Structure 1
Amino acid sequence: MFTGIIEELGEVVKLQKEDQNLHITIKSGMTPELGIDQSVAHNGVCLTVVAIDEDRYTVTAIKETLDKTALGELQEGQAVNLERAMKLGERLDGHIVQGHVDQTAECTDISEEDGSWRFSFKYDPSLNNVTIEKGSITIDGTSLTVVDSGKNEFSVAIIPYTYEHTLFKTYRVGTKVNLEFDVVGKYVKRLLELRD
């Protein structure tokens, strides 16, 4: 479990394909605190640490993960949002995030709003995921509140701190991002489907 509060930006230093898997090596200040088999969220995708070498660690994304997320588009030298799994007994500053991406979305608009930014996203409606105004959404692992919600599209407002300390400062119109919809909303939606 994660909170969606990004701890730091890591750097992709190596990408290695092996069969249908992708080994991703990250340079990060948190590496000395990691252990083999530990879970770390990378742009919102929970992956297991499989190797550690000084300030670098490696995780592996399998085909299923690559098919459902934007991790397959990573490039060497690119920044990634990182968050370690939450500790039991700590504050939950964001919202409950599982690190299981539901689908991807595309950034459709970015507007500066006198000290903050509004980012708009559109996603494929065929998976029947929904957002609600003032509900939670996770974008590339960042816990956010939905500002505007429409059918298969929504907007979020980004404060300067979040803009500077996450990938939001790198997004452009057309950027593909990972989405994890609110887990409570997903259960409510599923229960309603079962009643029909």
Structure 2
Amino acid sequence: MKNKSQPPVYSQIALDIAIRIARGDIKENAKISGRSVMSSQYNVSPETIRRSYQLLEDMEIITVSPGSGTVVKSRENASKYVERFNIGKDFRSLKHELKDLMKDRDELNQKIIEVIDQIFDINERYKNINTLHTLEFEIPESSSIVDKSVNETNFWQNTGATVVAVKRDQKTILSPGPYFVFAPNDIIVVTGDADILPRIEALIKE
């Protein structure tokens, strides 16, 4: 799950107090508890409450006086602040969602580029194969080369042919190495001189 940024704690507390004022839970001209009491209620430091009160005072929702304490000034301003905060919250959420989508898009674009590169690579290798004179042979289940590697069969030494690809289960394995093991029903694609046909048939049928 992707992390979403949260507003500062003092801002969240200020919003909570503003909501209570906007709902009428705390009336206009009513006193609000001091910093020590509120810090216990919200389980934060008095300094955090001071910053919350400062924010609400800047929004003209409360008035903080050294002699009179903290008094609710405007329920209307509290309602406006709550509405503006929610709009800002929605905007921040959309910005984060857009950022996540752009990141996903970049990752998808990178994968698309990698697949395109693989397609071009395979296409280029097929072009190289197609410029050669090639023959195809299917390996029967009874063939002596089943379960043997290209190296073990001495394929080139016995036939004079080079295995350029093997077709297996609707897949094409290009340029199989010397340790590639033949399986029943493999179709081997080979290239070589004009005399390879009988030699390959003889090797496969042994």
Q: TM-score, normalised by structure 2?
A: 0.21
Q: TM-score, normalised by structure 1?
A: 0.22
* Greater C-alpha Rg: 2
Q: Greater RCO between the two (CA within 8 Å, min separation 6)? A: 1
Question: Which is strand-richer, 1 or 2?
Answer: 1
